[in-house]
Structure 1
Amino acid sequence: MISNSKTSTIFTILCSLLVSVALTSVHAASLRTAKRATTCNGSSQLCDRLYSNVTFAGAHNSYAIVHSGTTLASNQNASITSQLNAGIRMLQSQAHKSSNSSVTGAGIDLCHTECSLFQGGTIEYWLSQVKSWVDANPTEVVTLLIVNSDTLPASQYAQAFQSTGLASKMYTPSSGVLTKQQWPTLGSMVDSGKTVVGFLTSGTDTSTVPYLLDEFSNIWETPYDQTSVPFNCSIDRIGSNVKSTSQNLMYLSNQFRDLSLFGGDQITTPDVANIGSTNSEATTLSSSDTCASEHGSYPNFILTDYSTVPDYDFPRAVAQMNGVSYTAPAQSSNSNGLSSGSSRTTSSFSSSIALSFIALSSALVYFIL
């Protein structure tokens, strides 16, 4: 006969086992219902793809937005928000040490070649626009590529990322150099909330700023300042530490067409007269097909000038490369009053070329003298 004390002990053990089983079941159920991205960069088809297996539409000098009479020093016609709304997912910028002695913040300005030719504002202003947009669009993965023109330390850039709050959104890998196979899926990045990838062309220090990666250790580029099509797809810039393993890296295709002002390669400007054909679906797909035939895959990033012209052809072509559909944003005027439609925009560019040429020539004479 079992005593009352033993019966009580057995009952307690059985209750504990039942509670343990119940908690295990609840935990397993919670794992099954854990957050998992269902839409990434506008499509459910992209969530399971590696970041390195997606082509991203990019804006060359994304901050250099056209104003009346300054097209020779500008590269885009839409605001940062409008670019992102149109499907641009790489924003490139050119950073310089600020010459403003009373500047606050990180002391970095975004300028096209010389700040006296085009002053695009502080890096904080640029990053704050990105932060606002990614906060409002948490399922979109965006890449920032910063040309570190004055070789400023990564810690100086980190000040701007931290003050704008964007540092909290930055993807931080375990290593500063990744092969194509080591990148995460877009879905995992969305789930983690780390949806912004950052690259610097020089000056990185991943031991102190691990979210700013060295571009040329992870990405190689095709030639830039090309003045004719078809675009050259050869390897132009690549880190010496990864030159022998270029096939393991992502690559960026520079598909912006320049115009030589004085018959040489020293001074060029965006070839706005041909922007409609340069950024067309046909040219974008043809140029990218050529690169794919040479390197075994489409470019991971494609940079263009006036990326929303004509009529969003460029981001639409990139969507085709990714095998997904594209929906253009509602037609609206940008903050500078220019439409994304091809006829009005290209005519606006053409009408201001003469004035811009005079302004730039005057500036060049000033520098020479």
Structure 2
Amino acid sequence: MQLSAGVRLLSAQVHVAKNENTKQRELHLCHSSCFFMDAGLLQDWLFEIRTWMDRNPDGVVTLVLVNMGGIDARELEGEYARADIARYGYVPETIDKPLALSNETFQTWPTLAQMIEKKGRLVTFVNPLKPDKQNAPYLLNEFDFVWENAYEVIEPTGFTCHPDRPANKTIAEMRDSGRLFLMNHILYWQQAFGIQLPDLRHINTTNSWDGLGGLGLHMMECGHQVSRRPTFVLVDFFNVGPAIEAVDILNDVQNPVGRKNVTATVVEEHIAAGASMPVPRRILVASALAVGAWNLLA
């Protein structure tokens, strides 16, 4: 499991599907469409994460859910309740706007120790979501708390640090807003008919510290432009190429203990048409944080 390998933020798309037998509405994890790739029930995935958190009482986990089905907070909360993971949910002071920017003398975002002590070790961002303070205060609309750079990059020289979501914002505006920076670092290979596939030709360089379009150089450049390092880094195939090692360098982590080795091969899944395609282990690998925020990489 990615969490045991050192990853501390996971991302998934949530779709509305029907049970094949009962025809009842269900929430599934799918990639683009459940017809092509269905990873099963959201509830089962949350249960797996909850089991890991039960066994790792000092682990802080963040989830980013892409709400492809326009699912409301009450229905999502039901999935969390059935997986018995809601009890770990982190609830900020306000759930509809970012906290003020932390600094050395004024701390707003909690530290890891504070989150562990208060047992609010699971942070969930959902895009999009109408917050429901009464029924699901731990489910947070992503772009009220997070900002991202562009994610559809097809050239190794195309990585930037400029805000893409929320739209029409400057780096200074996002930095001073208190939002956490999720830095996308994913390289696509442009195909015919507008199709984009993960660019496995360059994956070892893309996930490296200092290669052309390398992860390390991108993190350092964004740290310089934003005046604080990215909070999260989104990569394809975190297990292929030195992505975690690059983040370790930025975090000044040496000789980490307790991590499990995972296969360094590309996973292939068969899709409905009978062909196979590479499935990116698209995991958010956390990098170092500014004062007052949490550090998500063990």
Given the two structures, how large is their TM-score scaled by the length of structure 2?
0.79
CA distance in 2, matches of 1:274, 1:243: 28
Summarize deviations over 1:185-231 as a string: whole Å, max 9, x none: 11110112221100001123232311011110111111112112231
Q: Structure 1: which 5+ residue stretches go unaligned?
A: 1-80, 333-338, 362-369
2:275 aligned partner: 359
Give the CA RMSD over aligned residues.
2.8
CA distance in 1, matches of 2:237, 2:61: 18
Summarize deviations over 1:1-56 as a string: whole Å, max 9, x none: xxxxxxxxxxxxxxxxxxxxxxxxxxxxxxxxxxxxxxxxxxxxxxxxxxxxxxxx
SS at match of 2:275: helix
After TM superposition, list the pairs within 5 Å mapping 1:155-166 onto structure 2.
Answer: 155-166=74-85
Note if 1:314 corresponds to 2:253.
no
Note if 1:178 corresponds to 2:98.
yes
Summarize deviations over 1:252-301 as a string: whole Å, max 9, x none: 11111111121x6x321111222111112332210111111221111111
1:134 aligned partner: 53
1:237 aligned partner: 165
Q: Any conservation in 2 of the 1:94–1:112 contact (CA below 8 Å)?
A: yes
Code of the residue aligned with 2:141 in structure 1: it is D
Code of the residue aligned with 1:214 in structure 2: it is N
Q: Name the CA shift for 1:163/1:241 in 2 (closer, same or farther; >3 Å).
A: farther
Of the three residues 131, 144, 148, the one matched with 1:221 is: 148
Note if 1:290 corresponds to 2:218.
no
Q: Any conservation in 2 of the 1:111–1:118 contact (CA below 8 Å)?
A: yes
1:250 aligned partner: 180
Q: Name the CA shift for 1:233/1:243 in 2 (closer, same or farther; >3 Å).
A: closer
CA distance in 2, matches of 1:357, 1:272: 22
Given the two structures, how large is their TM-score scaled by the length of structure 1?
0.65
Code of the residue aligned with 1:272 in structure 2: it is L
Code of the residue aligned with 2:203 in structure 1: it is I
User: Structure 1 runs of 4+ off > 6 angstroms?
Assistant: 239-244, 355-358
Of the three residues 252, 263, 272, the one matched with 2:200 is: 272
CA distance in 1, matches of 2:136, 2:74: 7
Of the three residues 192, 195, 199, the one matched with 2:118 is: 192
Greater Rg by CA:
1
Task: State the percentage of identical aligned residues.
Answer: 27
CA distance in 2, matches of 1:165, 1:206: 19
SS at match of 1:281: coil
**Is the helix fraction higher in 1 or 2?**
1
CA distance in 1, matches of 2:184, 2:92: 26
CA distance in 2, matches of 1:243, 1:205: 26
SS at match of 2:181: strand
1:259 aligned partner: 189
Q: Name the CA shift for 1:287/1:244 in 2 (closer, same or farther; >3 Å).
A: closer
CA distance in 1, matches of 2:273, 2:93: 48
Q: Any conservation in 2 of the 1:204–1:212 contact (CA below 8 Å)?
A: no
After TM superposition, list the pairs within 5 Å mapping 1:40-119 onto structure 2.
Answer: 81=1, 83-100=2-19, 102=22, 107-119=26-38
SS at match of 1:117: strand
Q: Any conservation in 1 of the 2:163–2:170 contact (CA below 8 Å)?
A: no
